[in-house]
Amino acid sequence: MKKRPNLLQPCPLPLSSAPNLHLSRPRKPPPNLRLPNLRPPKLQLRLPNLRPPKLQLRLPNPTTPKAPTTTPKPTTPKAPTTTPKPTTPKAPTTTPKPTTPKAPTTTPKPTTTKAPTTTPKTTTTKAPTTTPKTTTTKAPTTTPKTTTTKPPTTTTTPKTPPQPTPPTELNAGNYSLTDEKTKVVCVKAHMALQIRLATPKANGTFIVQPKSTNAVGGCQATQANLTLAFKEGLITFMFNKNTEKVYVDALSFTLNYPLDKKVANGPPYSGKANSTNLFAAKIGHSYSCRNESLDMGNGLYLDITEDQMQAFNLTKSNEFGTPDLCPADKPNYSVAIAVGVTLLVLIIIVVVAYLLGRRKRADGYQSL
d(CA 361, CA 264): 85
Instruction: Name the least confident of 214-223, 293-302, 354-363.
Output: 354-363
pLDDT at 282 over 70: yes
More confident residue, 66 or 240: 240
- Mean pLDDT for 20-29 is 52
pLDDT at residue 247, rounded to an integer: 95
pLDDT at 78 over 80: no
Instruction: Name the least confident of 10-19, 233-242, 253-262, 356-365.
Output: 10-19
pLDDT at residue 173, rounded to an integer: 94
Nearest to 259 by CA among 209, 291, 210, 300: 300
Task: Give tens-digit pLDDT for 240-279.
Answer: 999 999 999 999 999 999 888 787 777 899 999 978 889 9
d(CA 135, CA 82): 12
Q: Residue 182 — very low, low, confident or very high, per pLDDT cuts 50/70/90?
A: confident
d(CA 119, CA 99): 10
Q: How crowded is the C-beta side of 8, counted as CA atoms within 13 Å?
A: 6
Task: Report CA dihedral (289, 293, 294, 295) to the nearest 10 degrees.
Answer: -170
- Mean pLDDT for 166-172 is 69
Q: Tell me the pTM.
A: 0.49
d(CA 200, CA 157): 26
pLDDT at residue 162, rounded to an integer: 45
Mean pLDDT score of the chain: 70
Which residue pairs, CB below 8 angstroms and at least 24 apart, start in 131-136?
131/79, 131/83, 133/87, 134/83, 134/86, 134/87
Q: What residue segments make up the domains of the chain, in order of their start?
A: 173-325
Strand 203-207 versus strand 300-311 pairing type: unpaired
Under 8 Å CB-to-CB from 170, ≥6 apart: which residues? 192, 193, 194, 207, 303, 305, 306
Give residue 185's identity as a one-letter amino acid code.
Answer: V
Task: Give tens-digit pLDDT for 90-105.
Answer: 444 444 444 443 443 3
- For domain 173-325, the CATH architecture is Beta Barrel (2.40)
Question: Which three-class secondary structure string do you get for the chain?
Answer: CCCCCCCCCCCCCCHHHCCCCCCCCCCCCCCCCCCCCCCCCCCCCCCCCCCCCCCCCCCCCCHHHHHHHHCHHHHHHHHHHHCHHHHCCHHHHHCCCCCCCHHHHCCCCHHHHHHHHHHHHHCCCHHHHHHHHHCCCHHHHHHHHHCCCHHHHHHHHHHCCCCCCCCCCCCCEEEEEECCCCCCEEEEEEEEEEEEEECCCCEEEEECCHHHCEEEEEECCCEEEEEEEECCEEEEEEEEECCCEEEEEEEEEEECCCCCCCCCCCCCEEEECCCCCEEEEECCCEEEEEEEEEEEECCEEEEEEEEEEEECCCCCCCCCCCEEECCCCCCCCHHHHHHHHHHHHHHHHHHHHHHHHHHHHHHCCCCC
